[in-house]
Amino acid sequence: MWDKFAQIWRAKDVRNRLLFVLAMLVIFRVVAHIPIPGVNLANLRNYLDGNQILGLFNIFSGGTLQNFSIVMLGVGPYITASIIIQLLTMIVPSMEEMSKEGEAGQHKINMYTRWLTIPLALLQSYGMIQLLNQSGQQVLTNLTPLSMVAIMLTVTAGTMFLMWLGELISEKKVGNGVSLLIFAGIVSSLPGFVNQAYLNYDPSKIFTYILFAAAAILTVVGVVFISEGQRNIPVSYAKHMRGNKSFGGANTHLPFRVNMAGVIPIIFAVSLILFPSMIAQFFVSADAEWMRNLANGTIKLFQNQPFYNSMYFLLVFGFTFFYTSVVFHPQKIAENLQKQGGFIPGIRPGRETELYLTKTMNRLNLAGALFLGAIAILPLVAQSLAGTQSLTIGGTSLLIVVAVAIETSKQIEALLTMHQYDTI
């Protein structure tokens, strides 16, 4: 391990990239502790401790909601905008054509995602303010229409700032910027989580701690297993003659990962599974009785562990297939192989190669999605057996942290490999 750190430090380009990313993460954590004036932080934290949904949202945003900072929404609106745009790309023909235009089309899609983030951040900030204002905990003091507008604009600007930081990090090719921001937020909350567990240690709950440790170990092993697993598709290149010399004829392979989507399905699933309960929180004090009943029923439904686990599993499973279909293009792979004179042994080039790659990827994706979904709900099952809610937050956080760490280490390894080739 120390040899790897030494290689990173000696490679100037890789070192500068990592130092830049670390600087961006430090800026994120500094900004996360800049509170908005007019908020009673003590009452806010008491309210979050008693609300499971908002407590999970606070952990997911890296503690920014607990501090009611200028970036309290985190990158949630940007993730929601990305989901909406990707869905529209698969549904709207004009956007589907735009996605096939290469770098220019991707630039337009990214621009639409940024623009959509602004109204979503404004809407979500308004909803959060109203929710806290109706909590009865006196979280917001002296709230006027002008101060509400100021808070909404400040929080929206904070979200756009984090989105910009995420894109700067992604440009350095050492990991996904949004994932790393979430990773940094979760890791920053781990010391407080460990300290709280130490202060609340109860020898009579030793079975709970053992269960949590077992779930954590299985989660880490499972995520590493599916992240490292891949199938190599053999590829051969036909020989061709130029004069008296023979060229080509090499044998290689296409590496297909079991979980090509990485940590993105988990992030998408957590974002969506929080949405219905958060919306229902706004209507628990509505004037209409049917609306109050509907809101309370929705909250109780998502607090039902079997239903919550099933929805979480299905969302992770579905988003694994969805995201893979967005990033995996068997038609382009088949066309490139045919242009380069490559073929899969026993499979005709062209359409049959495309169908074979699609079929193979779907089989791998099925195994990866089932395994990733099972690993995602494993801490939740442990929570039900142990009767504690802390495992929900710990399990989701652990899953994201491990997956992002693996993904980032792979990209750093690729950068080191490229640096070695450049120095030869």
Quick one: pLDDT at residue 1?
Answer: 63
Section 369-381 average pLDDT: 76
Section 164-179 average pLDDT: 86
pLDDT of 58 strictly over 70? no
Kindly state whether residue 416 falls inside one of the protein's structural domains: no
Q: ∠ at Cα 397 (395, 402), nearest 5°?
A: 95
| Claim to verify: residue 193 and residue 207 sit in the same structural domain | no
pLDDT in tens, 270-293: 777 777 777 777 777 777 888 888
Quick one: pLDDT at residue 59?
Answer: 61
| Claim to verify: residue 187 and residue 214 sit in the same structural domain | no
Kindly state whether residue 397 falls inside one of the protein's structural domains: no
Kindly state whether residue 398 falls inside one of the protein's structural domains: no
pLDDT in tens, 20-54: 989 999 999 888 888 887 777 777 777 766 565 66
More confident residue, 73 or 192: 73
pLDDT of 326 strictly over 80? no
More confident residue, 57 or 164: 164
Q: How many domains does the chain have?
A: 2
| Claim to verify: residue 280 and residue 370 sit in the same structural domain | yes
pLDDT of 249 strictly over 70? no
| Claim to verify: residue 316 and residue 299 sit in the same structural domain | yes
Rg, C-alpha atoms of the chain = 24
| Claim to verify: residue 167 and residue 18 sit in the same structural domain | yes
Give the phi and the psi of residue 310 in degrees, each rounded to 5: -65, -45
CA 100 to chain centroid: 24
Section 324-333 average pLDDT: 80
Quick one: pLDDT at residue 421?
Answer: 65
Quick one: pLDDT at residue 54?
Answer: 65
| Claim to verify: residue 157 and residue 242 sit in the same structural domain | no
Section 92-106 average pLDDT: 79
* pLDDT above 90: percentage of residues in the chain: 4
| Claim to verify: residue 157 and residue 245 sit in the same structural domain | no
Kindly state whether residue 2 falls inside one of the protein's structural domains: no
Quick one: pLDDT at residue 99?
Answer: 77
Domain that holds residue 104: 12-199
Highest mean pLDDT among 44-53, 58-67, 137-146: 137-146
pLDDT of 419 strictly over 80? no
Kindly state whether residue 164 falls inside one of the protein's structural domains: yes
Kindly state whether residue 406 falls inside one of the protein's structural domains: no
Quick one: pLDDT at residue 384?
Answer: 67
Kindly state whether residue 47 falls inside one of the protein's structural domains: yes
Q: Which of 199, 216, 245 is the last residue of a domain?
A: 199
pLDDT of 395 strictly over 70? no
Q: How confident is the model at residue 62 (pLDDT cuts 50, 70, 90)?
A: low
Quick one: pLDDT at residue 116?
Answer: 92
> CATH number, domain at 134?
1.10.3370.10
Q: How confident is the model at residue 406 (pLDDT cuts 50, 70, 90)?
A: confident
| Claim to verify: residue 148 and residue 295 sit in the same structural domain | no
pLDDT of 424 strictly over 60? no
Q: Which of 199, 222, 241 is the last residue of a domain?
A: 199
Q: Which of 176, 199, 222 is the last residue of a domain?
A: 199
| Claim to verify: residue 82 and residue 212 sit in the same structural domain | no
| Claim to verify: residue 142 and residue 216 sit in the same structural domain | no
More confident residue, 334 or 279: 334
Average pLDDT for the chain: 78
| Claim to verify: residue 264 and residue 143 sit in the same structural domain | no
| Claim to verify: residue 124 and residue 163 sit in the same structural domain | yes
Kindly state whether residue 409 falls inside one of the protein's structural domains: no
pLDDT of 248 strictly over 70? no
